[in-house]
Amino acid sequence: MPAPYRHILYLRFPYLSASRIRRHYDADSPLAMIQQSRGIDMVAALCPRAMAQGIAVGMRLADARALCPNLATYDFDPAADQADLYHLALWAQRYSPLTAPDNDGVVLDIAGAEHLFGGVRSLLADCARRLCHSGLKPVMATAPNYAAAWALAHYGRPRQRFMAAPKEEGDAAMMVACLTSRARLRHHLAPLPVAALRLEPAVTAQMYRAGLRVIGDIIGLARAPLTARFGAGLLQRLDQALGDCDDSFSPISRPQPLCVYRHFAEPIAAAEDIGLMICHLAKDMAALLQQARLATRRLRLCWQYVDGMVFAKDIHLSRPSRDLALFKRLLANMDESIRPEFGIENSWMQAYDCSPLAPLDDALPHLAGHWDRADEDPYAGLVDRLVSRLGYGAVVRLAPRDSWQPEAAQSLELPDLSRLCCDNRRWLSTSSCQTASPRPIRLLAHPQPVNATALLPDHPPVRFVWRRKIYNIIHATGPERIGPVWWRAPKDSLTRDYFRLRDDHGAGFWVYREGLPERGERPVWYIHGFFA
Amino acid sequence: MPIGKAAKHPVSKEKKTHSLLNLRHQLALMEGREQSVRLPFGVDSLDHALAGGLSLGRVHLITGNMLGHGAVSGFAVALIRHLQTHFQKADSNKPVVWCPANQHGATGMLYGHGLAAAGLDPSHILVVESPNPARRLAALEDIARTDGLAAVIVEYDGMQKSADYWMRLARRAQLAAEAGNVTVLLLGAPIPPAGFETAWHIAPSPDLAACSNPALAGRSIWHIQLQRARGGQPHQCHLSWYPNSGVFETFDQRTQAKTTPYEDLSVQGRLPLTALSGLPSKAVA
């Protein structure tokens, strides 16, 4: 029975693990992912540069190191790869509603969706451009069925390169084949090895022994002897690849948020009614969350006018909660921002970013308030109110980080109140080691170069010019030497000597010289902060 | 009272001051100033000029050049530290909301390690990030109405607006601050001070003693001009602040300069005196 019309796009990501490592660490050397198998370190994944050095997947690490001494190795993490593929499959829903992660790629059924992007060619070009921009180098193949697309993406010879940018030679997506009909399927599949049929390794080895190496060898053969010798699986796979029998994959869907509805028989417009509507929705949502044993961090209130227009408003919570009183308080001034216009017909509320929270209220009522009520912690309530007024991401807190680099020793983080209790000690403990020498109260996000005059190369400046203004220095303390993070920083980063300066008007500056004169480096002066 | 009549029967000086005090008291009652808590600096001349100290739950304006130095931020930090100690005595640890200027600009971002060294716990500061000064000022009223805050600090950069705009802003912020019982500090370039509870101009001041005495290196000295204080009077002084103890002190520039031996001004004993050509003439003379 012939299969229905399908158009499958297979995106294979051969360098997925390496590109994840590159995103997290700014590594310069060739990368290899290592997996232990029977006590031997084996190469499980590679980056393109390691591949160019002659290293292949399945090689021993010792052999790989012999080929490429500066190989950087990381642990192979299949779970993280799968998680990445899942997110890529969700992202790929911009092209088609039917997508799924595969073991090393993403499958899309783009049948009927090509014209939305101006044809299959421009869809593929768009997809390749976006993926290459994010550093993933996909191998793409389209075919009328899943098995053929898989075979082409894994074993086909790349024919065409889609460039992310005309000049970048490295970042290009590889296009194997773009088959839209079954007519040329046989022609394209015939030269591929039999392993492209997704057979069991034992069957493949058996076929190799029998001299059947490529798919073209078995296409013309009689079916009965093949089944007798290699089992029914072979012919089923072959039929699937040639489109003679159905082959499917199960598409994933985005996890849907919890949702509660209110529909009105008559459109409502009065302010009290709108307030009541919000109140009811909040009550339903709190009950639903309670029932599902979940707590939310983001509520979305949507409403639809009689003319069909839908509006939405988000409320962010500083920590997961399902407390009705808290919801009501955050939604309290919402009814003012909803204009009734000609009336509201529908309204619904969705809960995003849910996390499990034990139903404390039922089991331990005396503890319930401790967890679920913001009143206990005035800080939490305050952050919630500020975030609901100023927008998500606008309210942050300064957090210390263990680093001697001044700009890296502090980060901005969203106020997460689950960690507040241990927080008070964090600054004091780290700052005790950090403030051995004084630190400025304001730090320039990017140090700015100044034109400084020092009497001797390793002396503090006596005068510097910053923003076309001359500062005459009367007092200097230092130097405090801070070296670059040699195990991670780029090669040309230099050691800094920090000086605390006071000018003749009494202003305090934190100025550093980058580069050591005694090493023959040409020193450059920068201003980095201001003292009180 | 007609002028001519006053000339004929001159009012005694005592009676005049008494009636002035009486009038001031009546005005204060009308403005609700009597209820406001005043936080003394511990510096007599300044506290006298402020009529008892910095009034809490009001809007204060602190101006100065924020691009060239950290004196304005430093004075704000000192004030907040002072406020925090006051609240800690009352056993309430209230957070501070700080809306700083764009962190990529020339004023720089707040640096937690420096704040911690100045005695201010950075985990009690909520930073509101918004690159637009107009939006920060628009949010000010919202934030100030939130009760449970020790102070709100808003930086408005060098925003150019009419005197009328600042007057209205001061009034609106004042009402919000009273509603939330929050002390509001506005930081930025000089603007018309009308309508604010107090208006300060802060500039750094050279500290010659600290050059020779490393124990004093941590302190900050500011030249403070109290341009306006409701119920008080304008004042001007050099104020020093010790971050370790959080104590304010007046600082007499001339006596300090005289007691400092000229030779001790060299940098770590390495810098020749020719480098000191940039000293202010007053200090050298």
Query: What residues form DSSP beta bridges with A73?
Result: A32
Among B68, B115, B127, beta carbon nearest to A469? B68
Sort out which chain A residues have CB atoms less than 8 A from B69's CB and list them: 505, 507-509, 530
Give me the pLDDT at residue A161, please: 63
Q: What is the pLDDT of residues A306-346, one digit of tens each?
A: 998 999 988 887 777 888 888 888 888 787 888 888 899 99
Contact flag B130-A423 (C-beta cutoff 8 Å): no
Strands (E) located in A144-197: 160-163, 172-178
Contact A159, A121 (CB under 8 A): no
Give contacts of A424 with chain B, Cβ < 8 Å.
Answer: 121, 123
Contact yes or no for B142 and A469 at CB 8 A: no
The confidence band for A442, taking pLDDT boundaries of 50, 70 and 90, is very high
Contact status of A401 with chain B (Cβ, < 8 Å): no
User: How many CB atoms lie under 10 A from the CB of residue A458?
Assistant: 13
User: In the prediction, which pLDDT does A26 show?
Assistant: 64
Digit-coded pLDDT (tens) for A210-248: 888 888 888 888 889 889 988 888 888 888 888 888 888
How far is residue A386's CA from residue B250's CA, in Å, rounded to a whole number?
A: 38
Residue A263 is predicted with a pLDDT of: 92
In this prediction, residue B283 has a pLDDT band, given cuts at 50, 70 and 90, of very low
pLDDT at A466: 92
pLDDT at B18: 87
Tokens of A324: 């009705």
CATH architecture of B35-251: 3-Layer(aba) Sandwich (3.40)
Q: Do A397 and B103 touch (CB under 8 A)?
A: no
Domain with CATH 3.30.70.270 in chain A: 1-29+71-250
Per the listing, tokens 């209130």 go with A301
pLDDT score for A174:
74
Nearest residue, CB atoms, B95 vs list A382, A473, A477: A382
Please give the Cα distance from A409 to A394 (Å, whole number).
21
Specify the fold of A1-29+71-250: Alpha-Beta Plaits (3.30.70)
Q: How many residues does chain A have?
A: 532
Cβ contact A412–B127 (<8 Å): yes
Q: How many CB atoms sit inside 10 A of residue A208's CB?
A: 13
Residue type for A355, please? S
Distance in Å, alpha carbon of B16 to nearest chain A alpha carbon: 43
Mean pLDDT to the nearest integer, A453-477 = 90
The answer on pLDDT for A283 being more than 90 is yes
Residue B59 — pLDDT band, cuts 50, 70, 90?
Answer: very high
Q: Measured between CB atoms, which of B78, B108, B129 is closest to A396?
A: B129
Task: Tell me what percent of the residues of chain A surpass a pLDDT of 90.
Answer: 24
Listed in order, strand segments (DSSP E) in A24-64 are 31-37, 40-46
Number of C-alpha atoms within 13 angstroms, CB side, residue A465? 3
Min distance A484 CA to chain B CA atoms (Å): 19
Tell me whether residues B277 and A472 touch, CB distance under 8 A.
Answer: yes
Distance from CA of B38 to the nearest CA of A (A): 25
Whether chain A has a CB inside 8 Å of the CB on B247: the answer is no
Q: How far is B73 from chain A (nearest CA, A)?
A: 7
pLDDT score of A83: 92
- Check whether A13 has a pLDDT greater than 50: yes
Closest CA to A373 of A288, A295, A291, A259: A295
**Predicted local confidence at residue B255, as pLDDT:** 59
Among B93, B109, B221, pick the best mutation site for testing chain A contact (most A Cβ within 10 A).
B109
DSSP for residue A435: T
pTM: 0.63
pLDDT tens profile B85-110: 888 887 777 889 999 988 888 888 99
Residues 143 through 172 of chain B touching chain A, CB cutoff 8 Å: 143, 146, 148-149
Q: Are A203 and A212 in contact (CB under 8 A)?
A: no
What are the tens digits of pLDDT across the range A347-391?
999 998 887 775 544 444 444 444 444 444 556 667 777 777 677
User: Least CA distance to B130: which residue of chain A?
Assistant: A394
Contacts of B73 in chain A (CB under 8 A): 441-442, 530, 532
Q: Do B204 and A473 touch (CB under 8 A)?
A: no
Which chain B residue is nearest to residue A531, measuring alpha carbons? B70
Work out the minimum CA distance from A528 to partner chain B, whole angstroms: 9
Compute, in degrees rounded to 10, the torsion defined by CA atoms A490, A492, A495, A499: -100
Say if residue B282's pLDDT is above 50.
no
Contact A467 B106 (CB under 8 A): yes
C-alpha A111, offset from chain centre? 28
Contact by Cβ (8 Å): A532, B64? no
Beta bridge partners of A241: none
Reading phi first (left if > 0) and then psi (alpha if -120 to 50, else beta), residue B106 is in alpha
B211/A442 touch (CB, cutoff 8 Å), yes or no: no
Span B174-193, pLDDT tens digits: 999 988 889 999 999 999 99
Mutation pick from B113, B135, B141, B268 vs chain A, by most beta carbons of A within 10 Å, is B113
Residues of chain A within CATH 3.30.1490.100 domain(s) are 258-386
Sign of CA dihedral A198, A203, A209, A211: negative
Closest A-chain CA to B221: A506
Whether the CB of B268 is below 8 Å from some CB of chain A: the reply is: yes
A441/chain B closest Cα distance in angstroms: 4
> SS in 3 state form for chain B?
CCHHHHHHCCCCHHHHHHHHHHHHHHHHHHHCCCCCCEECCCCHHHHHHCCCCEECCCEEEEECCCCCCCHHHHHHHHHHHHHHHHHHHCCCCCCEEEECCCCCCCCCEECHHHHHHCCCCHHHEEEECCCCHHHHHHHHHHHHCCCCCCEEEEECCCCCCCHHHHHHHHHHHHHHHHHHCCEEEEEECCCCCCCCCEEEEEEECCCCHHHHCHHHCCCEEEEEEEEEECCCCCEEEEEEEECCCCEEEECCHHHHHHHCCHHHHCCCCCCCHHHHHHCCHHHHC
- Give the model's confidence band at A162: pLDDT under 50 very low, under 70 low, under 90 confident, else very high: low
Secondary structure letter of residue A145 according to DSSP: S
For residue B6, the model assigns a pLDDT of 47
Are the CB atoms for A365 and A294 separated by under 8 Å?
Answer: no
pLDDT tens for A244-281 read: 888 888 888 888 889 999 999 999 999 899 999 999 99
Contacts of B204 in chain A (CB under 8 A): 505-508
Q: Is A414 on the interface with B (CB under 8 A)?
A: no
**What does the pLDDT read at residue A404?**
83
Q: Which of A424-438, A478-492, B6-20, B265-279 has the lowest mean pLDDT?
A: B265-279
Residue B203: pLDDT band (50, 70, 90) is very high
Percent of chain A with pLDDT over 70: 87
Q: Measured between alpha carbons, how far is A172 from A180 in angstroms, rounded to an integer? A: 23
- Give residue A463's pLDDT: 93
Half-sphere exposure at residue B21, Cβ-oriented, CA atoms within 13 angstroms:
7
Euclidean distance between CA atoms B218 and A438, whole angstroms:
8
- The CATH label, of 3.40.50.1000, 2.160.10.10, 3.40.50.300, 3.30.1490.100, for the domain at A258-386 is 3.30.1490.100
Could you say which residues from 197 to 236 on chain B have a Cβ atom under 8 Å away from some Cβ of chain A? 203-208, 210-211, 214, 217-218, 220-223
Chain A closest CA to B163's CA: distance in Å?
Answer: 27
To the nearest whole Å, the CA of B230 is away from the closest chain A CA by: 27
For A412, nearest residue in chain B (alpha carbons): B127
Take residue A432 and report the two structure tokens written for it: 């005790």
Instruction: Select from B267, B276, B281 the residue whose CB has the most chain A CBs within 10 Å, as the one to mutate to test that interface.
Output: B267
State whether A395 and B126 contact (CB < 8 Å).
Answer: yes
Has residue A165 got a pLDDT over 80? no
**Which of B116, B126, B278 lies nearest to residue A435, judging by beta carbons?**
B116
Q: Which residues of B touch A393 (CB under 8 A)?
A: 129
Question: What φ, ψ does residue B240 adopt, rounded to 5°?
Answer: -110, 150
Out of B73, B272, B280, closest to residue A504 by CB = B280
pLDDT at position B73, please? 93
Backbone angles phi, psi at A374, to 5 degrees: -75, -15
The amino acid that residue B96 corresponds to is V
Of A385, A426, A474, which is closest to B279 when you measure between CB atoms?
Answer: A474
User: Mean pLDDT lowest for which of A154-168, A326-340, B136-150?
Assistant: A154-168
- Assess A446–B contact: CB distance below 8 Å, yes or no: yes
| A423 to chain B: closest CA residue | B123
Return the closest-CA partner of residue B71 out of B267, B198, B221. B221
Q: According to the model, what pLDDT value does residue A379 have?
A: 64
User: Looking at residue B34, what is its pLDDT?
Assistant: 63
Best interface-test mutation with A: which of B271, B274, B279 has the largest number of A CBs within 10 A?
B271
A171-195 per-position pLDDT tens digit: 566 777 777 677 788 888 888 888 8
CB contact under 8 A, A441 and B73: yes
Residue B281 touches chain A, beta carbons under 8 Å: no
Q: Under an 8 A CB cutoff, do A398 and B127 touch?
A: yes
